[in-house]
Amino acid sequence: MSELSSRSASQELTSAIRPAAIVVISFYIAAPLISQIASLKIGVVFSLAVDMGTFIYPLTFTLRDMVHKTIGKRGAQTLIFCAGGANLLMALYLLWAAQVPSDPSWGLGDQFSAILSPVWRIVFASIVAEVVSELLDTEVFHRVREAYLRKAGPRRQWLAVLASNAVSVPVDNLLFCFGAFAFVLPFEVIRQIFAINLATKFAMTLISLPGIYLVPDKKSQDAPGLQA
């Protein structure tokens, strides 16, 4: 009985860790890390000031749904905490790197410290917003997905992505904007940041929506092209 259980667990693990799962997990971890660095630059897009991490971070919500589809709810929840930990580790490492004395011949030590030293209020607001909103995204996606899996007919996977992002994206935006900037920036500025980021995140949701069809389903093992 023990050997049978062990073999079953091994087969389940092998099934879960497929190339598609490895790819989406890698991109899911990478996206918020890239976003954190890119956010250090405030650019001008369509005459509006926006941090340059805004265009890549929203992809994490659809990537999380793709992870959920390939390795299941529990695996997705574990990955969310790992991603939060990776963000914290990056901030701590950059803090240490900024405090290490620079070689005089390099000449960019002050610039490195000024740009890459973490602002802890923003770091913690970002991590809390990410973890809370992604866990919420997990619950909504799971419920909608389970509902269509129990019914005959086409599987409207886009609906699960759209429904989960419609809930989690505003929560993420609210927690980050007010956690990072409340009592620091005027309310009107925070409101503008919230509105611009929200519109951008929903636009990126629509652009990334078809990605859910690119990965196979953990339960059905169907080919991506056969899922509606």
Determine the Cα–Cα distance for residues 84 and 29; give it in Å rounded to an integer. 9
Residue 28 lies in a domain: yes
Residues 6+ apart with CB under 8 A from 212: 62, 65, 66, 69, 157, 158, 160, 161
Residues 6+ apart with CB under 8 A from 177: 190, 193, 194, 197
Residue 226 lies in a domain: no
Q: Name the H helices within the chain.
A: 2-16, 19-38, 59-99, 109-116, 120-149, 157-181, 187-208
The total domain count for the chain is 1
Give 129-141 pLDDT, tens digit per residue. 999 999 999 999 9
Residue 130 lies in a domain: yes
Domain that holds residue 38: 17-217
| CATH number for the domain that contains residue 79 | 1.10.1760
**pLDDT of 150:** 74
Determine the Cα–Cα distance for residues 143 and 150; give it in Å rounded to an integer. 11
Residues 112-119: what's their mean pLDDT? 91
Residue 1 lies in a domain: no
pLDDT confidence of 63, banded at 50, 70, 90? Answer: very high
Residue 2 lies in a domain: no
Residues 76-89: what's their mean pLDDT? 96
Residue 163 lies in a domain: yes
Q: For a pLDDT cut of 70, what percent of the chain falls above it?
A: 86
Give 142-155 pLDDT, tens digit per residue. 999 888 777 755 56
**pLDDT of 207:** 93
Give 17-50 pLDDT, tens digit per residue. 678 889 999 999 999 999 989 888 888 888 777 7
Determine the Cα–Cα distance for residues 37 and 23; give it in Å rounded to an integer. 21
192 class by beta-carbon count within 10 Å (0-12 exposed, 13-18 middle, 19+ buried): middle
Average pLDDT over the chain reads 85
Residues 40-62: what's their mean pLDDT? 84
What DSSP element (H or E) covers 45? strand 42-45
DSSP classification of residue 2: H
Question: Which of these, 195, 193, 144, 136, lies nearest to 167 by C-alpha position?
Answer: 136
Give 162-220 pLDDT, tens digit per residue. 999 999 999 999 999 999 889 888 888 888 888 888 999 899 999 999 999 988 877 54
Determine the Cα–Cα distance for residues 124 and 26; give it in Å rounded to an integer. 22
Residue 92 lies in a domain: yes
**pLDDT of 137:** 96
**φ/ψ of residue 145, rounded to 5:** -65, -45
Q: Are 210 and 59 in contact (CB under 8 A)?
A: no
Q: Cβ of 114: how many Cβ atoms within 10 Å?
A: 9
Residue 60 lies in a domain: yes
pLDDT confidence of 221, banded at 50, 70, 90? Answer: very low
Question: Which of these, 57, 24, 26, 21, lies nearest to 39 by C-alpha position?
Answer: 57
